[in-house]
């Protein structure tokens, strides 16, 4: 296990940089994590997705797939990839401080 430091707070992350303890996450950390992945600015659209995946994780214990995001987050699959070019489910989960979603779809 490694640690990362965001807004002066040490958090535990796995080898891919996903939070191991989602309760350690703060909203102020999101833009910094995003920047590390090449997303320079978090727009309202980004936040809509980030909040959605985090809520979903807190309710179900798992991050949603791209298919589920496209159908229920209010942002279409095409736009999800525009916002998170390196994979919406994975990138949004990392920015939202939740574990990497499992599943192949």
Partner 1 sequence: MTDYIQKISIIVSQGSLEGIYPGLIMANGARSEGIEANLFFTFFGLDAINKSRQDHIKLSSVGNPGLHFPTWLGGFPGVSKIMTQYMESKMEKLDIPPIPEFIEMISDTGAGLYACKASVDLFGMSKDDFIDQLDGIITVGDFYQLASGGQMLFT
Q: In whole angstroms, how close is the CB of 11 to partner 1 at the nearest point?
A: 23
Q: Largest Cα–Cα distance of the chain, in whole Å?
A: 36
Of residues 27 and 90, the one with the C-beta less far from partner 1:
90
Query: Catalytic: 69?
Result: no
Measured distance CA(24)–CA(30) in Å, rounded: 12
Q: How far is the CB of 55 from partner 1 (least distance, A)?
A: 18
Which residues are near partner 1 by CB under 8 A?
Answer: 65-68, 70, 76-78, 81, 85-91, 103-105
Going by C-alpha positions, the residue among 92, 103, 95, 104 that lies closest to residue 13 is 95
């Amino acid at each position: 296990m490694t640690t990362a430091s965001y807004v002066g707070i040490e958090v535990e992350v796995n080898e891919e940089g996903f939070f191991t303890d989602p309760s350690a996450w703060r909203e102020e950390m999101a833009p910094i994590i995003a920047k590390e992945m090449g997303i320079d600015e978090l727009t309202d659209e980004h936040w809509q997705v980030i909040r959605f995946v985090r809520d979903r994780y807190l309710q179900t214990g798992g991050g949603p797939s791209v298919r589920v995001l496209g159908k229920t987050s209010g942002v279409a699959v095409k736009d999800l990839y525009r916002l998170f070019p390196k994979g919406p489910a994975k990138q949004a989960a990392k920015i939202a401080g939740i574990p990497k979603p499992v599943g192949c779809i």
